[in-house]
């Protein structure tokens, strides 16, 4: 009886320990998608900046592989990727980032200034952009 109790406890705790967080809670995944979205907004609104499309496509394609490596199924990845709620959440986070960085909607110069700063900084967003 004692062995069965221990086996039950071990199986329950193993299930708890192996539970994966939602993909929105994996900074490597969520943060990269956010960076891609911000870079896309910058390039769409600044005529002096364009996207490094091959790099962006490589980053996006690599995310699915990375999520798989972290143990997520294709169904979990697609549910996150296609979720209207997640899209809205990321769009709001992106808008907050742009606002905090001094971007004013409808003013291309503000997008260009941020884009140039991101390129010079050389971070995730800047690596996806280039000056024309």
Q: pTM for the full model? A: 0.82
- Examine residue 37 and state whether it is found in any structural domain, yes or no: yes
pLDDT in tens, 72-99: 999 999 999 999 999 999 999 999 999 9
Any long-range contacts for 106-111 (C-beta under 8 Å, 24+ apart)?
Answer: 108/45, 108/46, 108/47, 111/41, 111/42, 111/45, 111/46, 111/49
Number of domains in the chain: 1
pLDDT in tens, 33-49: 999 999 999 999 999 99
- Examine residue 85 and state whether it is found in any structural domain, yes or no: yes
Which residue range(s) make up the domain with 91? Answer: 22-131
What's the mean pLDDT when you consider all of the chain? Answer: 89
- Examine residue 16 and state whether it is found in any structural domain, yes or no: no
Q: Specify the pLDDT at position 19.
A: 83
Orientation angle between helical segments 84-100 and 74-82, nearest 10 degrees: 60
- Examine residue 11 and state whether it is found in any structural domain, yes or no: no
Cα angle at 130 between 43 and 126, to 5 degrees? 80
Which positions ≥6 away from 106 have C-beta within 8 Å?
none
């Amino acid at each position: 009886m004692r062995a069965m109790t221990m086996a039950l406890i071990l199986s329950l705790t193993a299930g708890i320990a192996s539970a994966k967080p939602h993909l929105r809670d994996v900074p490597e995944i969520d943060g990269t998608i956010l960076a891609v979205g911000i870079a896309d907004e910058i390039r769409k609104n600044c005529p002096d900046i364009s996207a490094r499309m091959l790099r962006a496509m490589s980053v996006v394609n690599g995310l699915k592989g990375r999520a798989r490596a972290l143990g997520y199924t294709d169904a979990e990845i697609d549910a996150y990727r296609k979720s209207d709620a997640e899209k809205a959440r990321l769009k709001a986070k992106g808008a907050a980032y742009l606002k905090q960085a001094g971007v004013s909607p409808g003013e291309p110069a503000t997008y260009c200034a941020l884009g140039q700063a991101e390129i010079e900084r050389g971070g995730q967003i800047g690596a996806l952009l280039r000056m024309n």
